[in-house]
Amino acid sequence: MEKTATIQIGDRSYEYPVIVGTENEKAIDIRKLRSDSGYISYDDGYANTGSCTSDITYVDGEKGILRHRGYSIEQLSESSSFMEMVWLLIYGELPRKADFDEFREKVRRGAHVHEDLKHHYLGFPPRSHPMAILSSMLNALGCYYPEMATNNRETDLERFDEAAAVLVSKVRTLAAMAYRNDRGLPYIYPRKDLRYSENFLHMMFSEPYNEFTDIHGLGHALDLFFLLHADHEQNCSTSTVRMVASGGANLFASVSAGVSALWGPLHGGANTAVIQMLEEIRDSGDDGTRFIEMAKSGKSLMMGFGHRVYKNYDPRAKILGNMTDKVLASLGKKDPLLDIARRLEEAALNDDYFISRKLYPNVDFYSGIILKAIGIPMEMFTVMFAIGRMPGWIANWKEIAEAPKGKIHRPRQIYMGKSERDYIPIENR
């Protein structure tokens, strides 16, 4: 196994240590490259660049492996729960019963928000996107817990456990309030006798004098949805959280930035874009062939397909694909979009354009169909992703905050603009 790597520049060679990860991934530690040689590396999109070492999640994109703190996503989705995943990601181990019971009670009792937070929702114009609202409301939430959002690292770490429980619990409430406010519906207070995901559905869909009752086990399906979205290495939004945290910003501000990053259609916004794509195919009467041709010509993207890391089937997509059938069956529903999705997947996985580029369904390909079946409106799909990803963002913030001598993230660039020139007064231009 090579212990060093040599970079030859002109007649000079530079030797750098090789870092080897738990799963034998290798990296060249070039932290001294610029001071040694005056050169920097260039890697737009960071496809070849490790921004950190981390103990939280491991993805092997070639083999389609996803593990959280060493446990496979298959085992966790079979045997665990979203709340247990939250604890595992944040604290590194599966919880002992006493700890877990205490944590769940804290999350259960902490679902309500300060009454004054309601006023913030009145400031958003009708049809404001709930991701814009959620990002704003997470920072607003931090204002009600100033003792946990001080931007003094030591203090914020001392209050970390409480802040983490506040965010995990209340992100649901803020999301449900955005949904209800937009429809002019009365806010529904959380109940302390309901499990995490059922309580969310209660806050979303109960009406005064007509409580939402989870007769189809949708709470379990949503819990599995949240679990599958909980963390995924240094994806766009998690890297954003780490970037913001590296400057010393508190947990509320950092996850608020993560929500904004997740919103993009190439990232968490893809679950919405997949449904729009499937509906477009359905309404066009096309069997998907024309759409695949458009994707192959570069005129459009097959949303829910492809991944920066997975060059194999995203294991989460496999689980969600199976889950879709179960959720629809439990509701006694059929969804023509599922048939279109299955046909599209079949066609793409047999088409050289997708095979040669190793484009497979990713976590977003089936998730929208499940959310639609549960009754979540499309504009809330990425909010669901954000609720699921909250523990991953919190765990990554903690890694940054606890890093001894943690450095602010400040990438360099290669300037390609104008060289130095003199100012010309406006009368002479």
Nearest to 16 by CA among 24, 27, 6: 6
Task: Report how far residue 148's alpha carbon sits from residue 146's, in angstroms, rounded to the nearest whole number.
Answer: 5
315 binds ligand SDX (CB under 6 A): no
Distances (CA, A) of 320 to 185, 270, 323: 31, 15, 5
226 binds ligand SDX (CB under 6 A): no
240 binds ligand SDX (CB under 6 A): no
266 binds ligand SDX (CB under 6 A): yes
The tally of CA atoms less than 13 A away on the side-chain side of residue 419 is 0
Question: What is the closest distance, in whole angstroms, from the C-beta atom of residue 10 to ligand SDX in the complex?
Answer: 31
DSSP state of 56: S
Distance of CA 34 to the CA centre of its chain: 33
In this complex, which beta carbon is closest to ligand SDX, that of residue 66 or of residue 194?
A: 66
Among 188, 295, 371, 380, indicate the residue that binds ligand SDX (CB under 6 A).
Answer: 295
Among 58, 103, 263, 305, indicate the residue that binds ligand SDX (CB under 6 A).
Answer: 305
**Interface map 359-378 toward ligand SDX (x if CB under 6 A):** x--xxx--------------
Nearest to 245 by CA among 381, 234, 378: 234
Nearest to 92 by CA among 391, 314, 315, 388: 391
303 binds ligand SDX (CB under 6 A): yes
Tell me the residue nearest to ligand SDX as measured from the CB. Answer: 306
Instruction: Spell out the long-range contacts of 200-209 with Cβ–Cβ below 8 A and sequence spacing 24 or more.
Output: 200/172, 200/175, 200/176, 200/387, 201/374, 203/111, 203/172, 203/173, 203/176, 203/177, 204/176, 204/179, 204/180, 204/376, 205/375
380 binds ligand SDX (CB under 6 A): no
Q: Provide the terminal-to-terminal Cα distance of the chain, rounded to the nearest Å.
A: 62
Catalytic residue positions, numbered: 307, 364
Do residues 375 and 205 touch, judged by C-beta distance below 8 A?
yes
Among the residue ranges 102-110, 155-163, 296-304, 366-374, the one whose residues contact ligand SDX (CB under 6 A): 296-304
Binders of ligand SDX among residues 322 to 361 (CB under 6 A) are 357, 359
**Interface map 44-83 toward ligand SDX (x if CB under 6 A):** -x--------------------------------------
Nearest to 211 by CA among 223, 193, 238: 193
In this complex, which beta carbon is closest to ligand SDX, that of residue 188 or of residue 323?
A: 323
- Count of residues of this chain found to bind ligand SDX when the rule CB under 6 A is applied: 22
Residue 316: CB atoms within 10 Å: 27
260 binds ligand SDX (CB under 6 A): no
In this complex, which beta carbon is closest to ligand SDX, that of residue 113 or of residue 278?
A: 278
Among 301, 328, 331, 378, indicate the residue that binds ligand SDX (CB under 6 A).
Answer: 301
Task: Report how far residue 362's alpha carbon sits from residue 318's, in angstroms, rounded to the nearest whole number.
Answer: 9
9 membership: H or E segment, kind and range: strand 4-9
Question: What is the closest distance, in whole angstroms, from the C-beta atom of residue 389 to ligand SDX in the complex?
Answer: 7
311 binds ligand SDX (CB under 6 A): no
**Positions that interact with ligand SDX (CB under 6 A):** 45, 232, 235, 266-267, 270, 295, 298, 301-309, 357, 359, 362-364
